[in-house]
Amino acid sequence: MSAAPKSRWAEDDAETEALLEQKRREKEERKRAKAEKQRQEEEAQKLLAQKRNEEAAKGSPQGSTNGDAGRPSKRRRLSNEPEPHPDIIDEKPISLLRFPAPEWGPCRHVDNFERLNHIEEGSYGLVSRAKELATGEIVALKRLKMENSLDGFPITGLREIQTLLESRHTNIVRLREVVMGNAMDDVYLVMDFLEHDLKTLLDDMREPFLPSETKTLLLQIISATEFLHSHWIMHRDLKTSNLLMNNRGEIKLADFGMARYYGDPPPKLTQLVVTLWYRSPELLLGAEKYGPEIDMWSIGCIFGELLTKEPLFQGKNEVDQLSKIFALTGPPTTQTWPSFRSLPNAKSLRLPATAPPVADSNNIPLLPRSNFPYLTTAGLTLLSHLLSLNPAKRPDAATCLMHPYFREDPKPKAKEMFPTFPSKAGMEKRRRRETPEAPKRGEEAPRLDFANVFGGGVGEGMGTGGEAGAGFALKFG
């Protein structure tokens, strides 16, 4: 009889055969080790059972014949908590701490709410005032936008829900729950309803808010932002239409559709964020890495808008926007913003040789007083710092809250003393003025050529149609 045929490969390659042999040995070894472990475990189990039996026999009452043999005379201690002291007779039962566990369950249907009226007329039609049928409570229902979501639930919607849920703060709108319609892409946020948004209110007011009222509003906006930033959330779309207000002088920050978590150092992020009029110069110049300072810039714009009732920089396109900003702040210099030249869109920027603007002791240029005649020096300093071109020079939210502007006279007005206004969102239809919208997710940030604009000529190749700039006297180099 011939021996069993060897593997063709083994014949060919002695090295392979040795390897296979080693593998076999290792496998054998593992099998043995496993069997040994099992044997040891069984032995340990046997010993344990034996010990228990012995203990049970010892603990049984002497001479017991009533079949209770084996039952311990006293409750056996199951934990190693200390024995109660014999003197303590009236020992209170220890109550366990209970924590609410998040409940997972199906969303309720939107039919639990009766829609009363659209809050937004025309352009979106996404936010409505509604009544919860069971309780009669008035809420706001916001239908999530599902465009650009061919590959599932839109990331913006997820971020909006996640960041809003985490942001429990008196100055941030409360998300009550998420409800569904009949289709998978019919998702609504149920929020507390507020009578106004600041933009509509400012449009309808004949005079701007009083200085004391401006302070109360601004403090609340900054408090909400401070909360977000301390939780590593950037809002990325701060503007007056995203600031809700009730008839008790309270502000609630809303619209977290652009919000996201950030880190330190900041990750590479999309540049196309923040509605144009509130967008910071570093974003306009194409910065890919940016941080919460972009929100502080927007707050500067909102501050200016509260003072004058008009959006501060109403650019027609990115280039015009930057031009309008420089017209107020003066152009950046290597002293005031050393790194601006390294930003992608700054390469083509030609700046005029102008006298450097008046700067304060922190080398931050002060805005011209004539633009804000009713603002105190402390107020002008805070505004100038928030609108510092150099993001590193902008104060963070926590610092702003401590600013002398809020402590000097007139003091911030008590919220209860605020005037009330008729609520357009309540029932009446309203017309909105044309204002730019927040950028859409997935849009490409335009490559901008700033060289063509500041001379006043019609720019070419600009993402938004090549309109001329603000007419600020910047010249080609």
Ligand X SMILES: Nc1ncnc2c1ncn2[C@@H]1O[C@H](COP(=O)(O)OP(=O)(O)O)[C@@H](O)[C@H]1O
The smaller minimum CB distance to ligand X, of residues 175 and 470, is found at: 175
CA atoms of 251 and 261, how far apart (whole Å): 23
Query: Angle at the Cα of 104 (from 103 to 110), degrees rounded to 5?
Result: 105
Q: How far is the CB of 138 from ligand X (least distance, A)?
A: 9
Task: Judge contact between 236 and 259, C-beta under 8 A.
Answer: yes
The smaller minimum CB distance to ligand X, of residues 242 and 333, is found at: 242
Q: Which residue has the tokens 């569904």?
A: 180
Q: How far is the CB of 191 from ligand X (least distance, A)?
A: 4
Edge-to-edge strands of the sheet including 243-245? Answer: 196-197, 243-245, 251-253
Residue closest to 175 by CA, chosen among 162, 184, 158, 186: 162
Task: Judge contact between 460 and 468, C-beta under 8 A.
Answer: no
If binding is defined by CB under 6 A, does position 142 make contact with ligand X? yes
- Kindly name the residue from 203, 237, 255, 320 that is annotated as catalytic: 237
Contact string (CB under 6 A) for ligand X, positions 181-220, x = contact: ----------xxxx--x-----------------------
CA atoms of 12 and 299, how far apart (whole Å): 77
Question: Which residue of 166, 203, 226, 255 would you call a contact of Mg ion, by CB under 5 A?
Answer: 255
Cis peptide before 265 (omega within 30 of 0): yes
Residue 32 tokens read as 């043995």
If binding is defined by CB under 6 A, does position 306 make contact with ligand X? no
Of Mg ion, ligand X, none, which one does residue 127 interact with (CB within 5 to 8 Å by kind)? ligand X
CA atoms of 387 and 307, how far apart (whole Å): 14
Residue closest to 289 by CA, chosen among 268, 270, 272, 271: 268
If binding is defined by CB under 6 A, does position 173 make contact with ligand X? yes
Question: Which residue of 425, 462, 468, 474 would you call a contact of ligand X, by CB under 6 A?
Answer: 425
Of Mg ion, ligand X, none, which one does residue 126 interact with (CB within 5 to 8 Å by kind)? ligand X
Residue closest to 139 by CA, chosen among 197, 76, 189, 67: 189
Task: Judge contact between 80 and 97, C-beta under 8 A.
Answer: no
The smaller minimum CB distance to Mg ion, of residues 124 and 372, is found at: 124
Question: Which residue of 213, 255, 295, 305 would you call a contact of ligand X, by CB under 6 A?
Answer: 255
The smaller minimum CB distance to ligand X, of residues 235 and 324, is found at: 235
The smaller minimum CB distance to ligand X, of residues 240 and 384, is found at: 240
Active site residue 90: no
> Residue 183: how many CB atoms within 10 A of its CB?
8
Query: Angle at the Cα of 425 (from 413 to 193), degrees rounded to 5?
Result: 70
Q: How far is the CB of 324 from ligand X (least distance, A)?
A: 23
Contacts 24+ apart (CB under 8 A), 111-115: 112/179, 113/139, 113/141, 113/179, 113/190, 115/141
Residue 54 tokens read as 């012995």
Binding segment for Mg ion (CB under 5 A), chosen from 11-19, 107-115, 242-250, 265-273, is 242-250
Question: Which residue of 187, 219, 224, 254 would you call a contact of ligand X, by CB under 6 A?
Answer: 254
Decide the pairing of beta strands 108-109 and 175-180: parallel
Q: How far is the CB of 112 from ligand X (least distance, A)?
A: 17
Question: Which residue of 242, 275, 329, 333 would you call a contact of Mg ion, by CB under 5 A?
Answer: 242
Question: Which residue of 167, 171, 225, 242 would you call a contact of ligand X, by CB under 6 A?
Answer: 242
Contact string (CB under 6 A) for ligand X, positions 111-140, x = contact: --------xx---x-xx------------x
Q: How far is the CB of 118 from Mg ion (least distance, A)?
A: 14
Q: How far is the CB of 293 from ligand X (least distance, A)?
A: 22
Positions annotated as catalytic residues are 237
Contacts to ligand X by CB under 6 A: 119-120, 124, 126-127, 140, 142, 173, 191-194, 197, 241-242, 244, 254-255, 257, 425
Contacts to Mg ion by CB under 5 A: 242, 255
